[in-house]
Amino acid sequence: MNPHTTRRRFPNNTKVVARFKFIDMKYDNIIIGGGLSGLVCGIESARSGRKTAIVSAGQSALHFWSGSFEFLCNEDSRIVIDHPLERAERLDESHPYRKIGVSNVSKLLDRVLPLLREAGIKVNGSLERNHYRLTPFGYSRPAWLTLDEYLSFQSPSELKGKRAAIVNIYSYLDFYPRFLALGLSKLDVECVTASVNVPQLDILRKSTTEMRATNMSRFLTDSAVDDLAREVNRVSSDCDMVIMPAVLGIFDDEPVNRLRRGVDRPVFFVATTPASVPGVRCQLSLRDYFTSLGGTYMPGDTVVGGEISDGRIRKIYTSNFGSIPLIAENYVICTGSFFGHGLIANMDKIYEPVFGLDLNAPDDRTEWYDKNFYASQPYMGYGVVTDEKFRPMKEGKVIENLYATGALLSGFNALKEGSGAGITLATALHAASCITR
């Protein structure tokens, strides 16, 4: 019998012959991880004409996105606003920005804004100077890029003397108008708060667990947006601007634009607690852009290992494909840190689960943390050990056709520095440059 043919006998003794053609699992480049880093790297690879696949385990950190990307926001516990690129020159030589070279980082990140806009993600900002964004709890924080519809400003003085209507949706509990009003009052902004309702959301109120941003966004489309705009106009007639929770536009930004057109004064959005509607939209937009370029996206699958010989990865295996290998010339691992299970910690050790790559983490568990909860925690700087091209090492030897990006890397503390997105994007574009030469 032909090995690609199976024969099945049905109860009525009818013979059915089915022929299966195995999918071609050979690619130029395979990206392991479907978050921001993996998608951007995959897009650049596919745009260059390479046959590219992304293996994605599921939801990424984008589902917790604030609506802003950071490049470098803190240096020695001081907020960085002016000249973040110049400040990056003072980082340790092991830092990813320094390994790439700050001038090269600038050139790479200049490609981010047009790439995002081509994917339908509209952001504003500059590497020359950070701006401020408003957090869900009313604090102002520096950022590099922020979604156009979000509230951002170059200086707190821009908001002085303004009157803002903070408008929530009735029964929505993941948005905190009083916290926002308190934070804005410190910027000399006069605030009024209100809650509005649209009948299209009544079905969700049958259960309080259903009044979540991602659920609401599926109902806030078309006529529901028009109804919402009328309600917002009713409660904000004497205000200079409207601030609302970011619960519109999970698939595209048309509901956002429609609401802003329907409200008589400027409308700005503020991030809610997760899940993030703009974050889901960003993930979907990047994924769709990648597949439109001819890329292959494999959702809900996990790379479980690979074969390495003579310093190169020859093939990898995934949970879904079992014994069928995926083969490529180059591989990029973008699995993230502890949050994305790119690193695993147990009682005895910290390890990288896919290839068993070398890490900069000590064996002594007591060295992983500082007992002072508010101190910089050592484990936040752990990651894979790489050469100057971000090629990881295993047992002290470089794997020549594997590149690591983003939070999986060592040498930085994204939380302390406010540098996570910048490193994610810069290293993704750097890896893409290496695998498309």
Residue 91 neighbours by CB under 8 Å, 6+ apart: 97, 98, 412
**Average pLDDT in the chain:** 91
Q: From 191, 129, 182, select the one nearest 163 (Cα to Cα).
A: 191
Of the residues 216, 241, 270, which one is the last residue of a structural domain? 270
Which two structure tokens, joined as six digits, stand for 217? 């966004």
Rounded distance between C-alpha atoms, residue 432 and residue 437, angstroms: 9
Which two structure tokens, joined as six digits, stand for 11? 């109860």
pLDDT of res. 266 = 96
349 within some domain: yes
Q: Looking at the predicted structure, is the pLDDT value of residue 136 above 90?
A: no
Q: Looking at the predicted structure, is the pLDDT value of residue 26 above 50?
A: yes
Q: Looking at the predicted structure, is the pLDDT value of residue 11 above 60?
A: no
Q: Are both 73 and 205 inside the same structural domain?
A: no
Q: Are both 368 and 256 inside the same structural domain?
A: no
Domain that holds residue 302: 26-121+282-435
Q: How many helices (H) and strands (E) does the chain have?
A: 12, 25
325 within some domain: yes
The DSSP output letter for 365 is: G
54 within some domain: yes
Q: CB–CB of 67/133 below 8 Å?
A: yes
The DSSP output letter for 64 is: G
Q: Are both 208 and 300 inside the same structural domain?
A: no
Q: Are both 32 and 110 inside the same structural domain?
A: yes
Q: From 211, 193, 212, select the one nearest 202 (Cα to Cα).
A: 211
pLDDT of res. 84 = 94
Rounded distance between C-alpha atoms, residue 301 and residue 303, angstroms: 7
Tokens 């978050």, residue located: 35
Q: Are both 296 and 260 inside the same structural domain?
A: no
Which two structure tokens, joined as six digits, stand for 79? 């907020």
Q: Are both 417 and 301 inside the same structural domain?
A: yes
Burial 162-183 (b: 16+ CB within 10 A, else e): eebbbbbbeebebbbbeebbeb
Question: What's the residue count for the chain?
Answer: 437
422 within some domain: yes
- Mind giving me the DSSP string for 4-61? TEEEEE-TT--EEEEE-PPPP-EEEEEEE--SHHHHHHHHHHHHTT--EEEE--S--G
Going by pLDDT thresholds of 50, 70 and 90, the confidence category of residue 205 is confident
Q: CB–CB of 277/246 below 8 Å?
A: yes
Please report, for the domain that includes residue 211, its CATH number.
Answer: 3.40.50
Q: Which of 7-16, 187-196, 285-294, 402-411 has the lowest mean pLDDT?
A: 7-16
Distance of CA 6 to the CA centre of its chain: 43
Q: Are both 298 and 429 inside the same structural domain?
A: yes
Residue 28 neighbours by CB under 8 Å, 6+ apart: 45, 50, 51, 52, 328, 329, 330, 435
Going by pLDDT thresholds of 50, 70 and 90, the confidence category of residue 23 is low
pTM: predicted TM-score of the whole model, two decimal places: 0.90
Q: CB–CB of 435/332 below 8 Å?
A: yes
pLDDT of res. 5 = 37
Which two structure tokens, joined as six digits, stand for 359? 């890490």
Q: What share of the chain is helix, strand, coil (3-state, %, to 5)?
A: 30, 25, 45
Q: Looking at the predicted structure, is the pLDDT value of residue 149 above 80?
A: yes
Q: CB–CB of 203/156 below 8 Å?
A: no
Q: Are both 319 and 413 inside the same structural domain?
A: yes
Q: Looking at the predicted structure, is the pLDDT value of residue 209 above 80?
A: no
Q: Are both 300 and 340 inside the same structural domain?
A: yes
Going by pLDDT thresholds of 50, 70 and 90, the confidence category of residue 3 is very low
75 within some domain: yes
The DSSP output letter for 276 is: P
Number of domains in the chain: 2
3-state secondary structure of 416: helix
Greatest pairwise CA separation for the chain in angstroms: 83
11 within some domain: no
pLDDT of res. 24 = 59
Percentage, residues of the chain above pLDDT 90: 77
Q: Are both 244 and 300 inside the same structural domain?
A: no
Q: Are both 111 and 246 inside the same structural domain?
A: no
Q: CA distances (Å), 209 to each of 204, 212, 214, 216, in order?
A: 8, 7, 12, 11
Q: Are both 74 and 99 inside the same structural domain?
A: yes
Q: Looking at the predicted structure, is the pLDDT value of residue 177 above 70?
A: yes
Which two structure tokens, joined as six digits, stand for 17? 């012959």
Tokens 């007639």, residue located: 237
Mean pLDDT of 250-258: 95
Of the residues 250, 270, 290, which one is the last residue of a structural domain? 270
Rounded distance between C-alpha atoms, residue 173 and residue 183, angstroms: 19
Q: CA distances (Å), 2 to each of 16, 22, 25, 138, in order?
A: 14, 13, 21, 67
Rounded distance between C-alpha atoms, residue 90 and residue 95, angstroms: 10
132 within some domain: no
Mean pLDDT of 12-38: 72
Please report, for the domain that includes residue 420, its CATH number.
Answer: 3.50.50.60
Of the residues 215, 241, 270, which one is the last residue of a structural domain? 270
Distance of CA 217 to the CA centre of its chain: 19
293 within some domain: yes
